[in-house]
């Protein structure tokens, strides 16, 4: 049994708490928060932009720490799950790895590629695994698209476009601070940067056009250039200031013999599937794959299951590896460089 402690009981800590209840082979053994109410099990103040609100939690069989070093030092723990603000990811990850713990750190892995490199190197040195909670590949439409691409029935991937746009997150005061949260690319687009890296490999260069807000990119369009010039990939991501559509994401993936399309938007407080995952094949057929039933926690439970698989097998996760997450952060910063310079930037 893998024993885990969560550092940080905010919205993502709550979502991870719920996910652990659904996964075999791993048990939540401890939590860490500086909030006295949450230490006492009152998580009713937690609320996010999806999923259930926080509840009263029974912590009688779970260790509750107010100090993260005490959590890390707990000899009963095998894995530290870091759900702290992004600017704390590096320090707590390094301390946990030095203490002989595996680490699952929420996205973004860190605010810079250099910090991600330090985390990967520290894991290698400690003989432990560092995972990054890049959950997007486990969402049903994205998971099914990955299976279709990998299956090869419709030939190889030859391109696509990926979209992820939000309204201005007015409740996050540090969202545009590159030293705190990182801005729309590092905090939001990193999902699609990770997916593009996972599906296509690492681009050779990027060219981006966009708008800046202070030191970070507010919104941009990017073309990713690969050694294979026939692979045509682009992405649109960032913030718009129309608050009536709080979120939208989707993709159009081009294969040699089919196109995969999907899009969802949140408008008026509710999610609307504008295009269910659809396969348009070269024979003129339109197919809508049947996706497994689930809820807002399902993808996170699948993510935790992948961590369990990797730890039990001793084989690094191809989906959640620190190295892959580092590459995604690298892409985000190269895109920022391209927006600032107006030029193509090599990776």
Residues 203 and 75 in one domain: no
Residues 215 and 110 in one domain: no
Residues 281 and 313 in one domain: no
- Provide the CATH number for the domain around residue 107: 3.40.50.720
Residues whose CB is less than 8 angstroms from the CB of residue 347 and which lie 6 or more positions away in sequence, other chains included: 202, 203, 204, 205, 206, 330, 331, 334
From the first residue on, what is the mean pLDDT of each consecutive set of 10 residues in the chain (347 residues)? 97 96 97 96 87 89 96 97 98 98 98 98 98 98 98 97 96 93 98 98 98 98 97 98 92 98 90 96 96 93 98 95 98 98 97
Residues 96 and 117 in one domain: yes
Domain containing residue 178: 136-294+328-346
Angle at 158 between CA 155 and CA 163, to 5 degrees: 120
Residues 58 and 175 in one domain: no
Residues 37 and 151 in one domain: no
Residues 173 and 251 in one domain: yes
Residues 38 and 157 in one domain: no
Residue 53's CB is within 10 A of a number of other CB atoms, namely 12
* pLDDT (tens digit per residue) in 169-204: 988 889 999 999 999 999 999 999 999 999 999 999
Residues 216 and 339 in one domain: yes
- Provide the CATH number for the domain around residue 184: 3.30.360.10
Count of positions (residues) in the chain: 347
The pTM (predicted TM-score) of the whole model is 0.96
Total domains present in the chain: 2
Residues 268 and 143 in one domain: yes
């Amino acid at each position: 049994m893998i024993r885990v402690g969560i550092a940080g009981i905010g919205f993502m800590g709550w979502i991870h708490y719920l996910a652990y209840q659904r996964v075999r082979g791993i048990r939540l053994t401890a939590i860490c928060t500086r909030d006295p109410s949450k230490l006492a099990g009152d998580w009713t103040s937690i609320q996010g932009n999806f999923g259930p609100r926080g509840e009263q939690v029974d912590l009688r069989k779970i260790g509750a720490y107010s100090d993260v070093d005490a959590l890390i030092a707990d000899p009963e723990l095998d894995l530290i799950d870091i759900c702290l603000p992004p600017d704390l990811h590096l320090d707590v990850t390094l301390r946990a790895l030095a203490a002989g713990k595996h680490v699952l750190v929420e996205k973004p892995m860190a605010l810079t590629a250099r910090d991600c490199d330090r985390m990967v190197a520290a894991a290698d040195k400690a003989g432990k695994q560092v995972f990054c909670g890049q959950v997007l590949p486990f969402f049903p439409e994205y998971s099914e698209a990955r299976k279709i691409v990998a299956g090869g029935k419709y030939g190889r991937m030859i391109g696509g476009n990926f979209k992820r746009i939000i309204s201005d997150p007015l409740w996050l005061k540090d969202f545009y601070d590159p030293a705190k949260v990182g801005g729309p690319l590092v905090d939001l687009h990193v999902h699609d940067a990770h997916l593009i890296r996972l599906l296509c490999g690492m681009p050779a260069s990027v060219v981006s056009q966009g708008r800046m807000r202070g030191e970070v990119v507010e919104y941009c369009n990017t073309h990713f250039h690969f050694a294979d010039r026939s692979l045509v990939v682009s992405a649109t991501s960032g913030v718009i200031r129309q608050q009536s559509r709080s979120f939208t994401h989707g993709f159009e993936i081009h294969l040699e013999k089919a196109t995969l399309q999907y899009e969802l938007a949140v408008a008026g407080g509710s999610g609307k599937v504008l295009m269910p995952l659809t396969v348009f094949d070269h024979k003129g057929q339109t197919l809508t794959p049947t996706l497994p039933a689930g809820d807002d926690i399902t993808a996170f439970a699948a993510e935790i299951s992948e961590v369990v698989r990797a730890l039990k097998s001793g084989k690094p996760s191809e989906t959640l590896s620190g190295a892959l997450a580092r590459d995604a952060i690298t892409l985000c910063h190269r895109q920022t460089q391209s927006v600032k310079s107006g030029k193509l930037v090599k990776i």
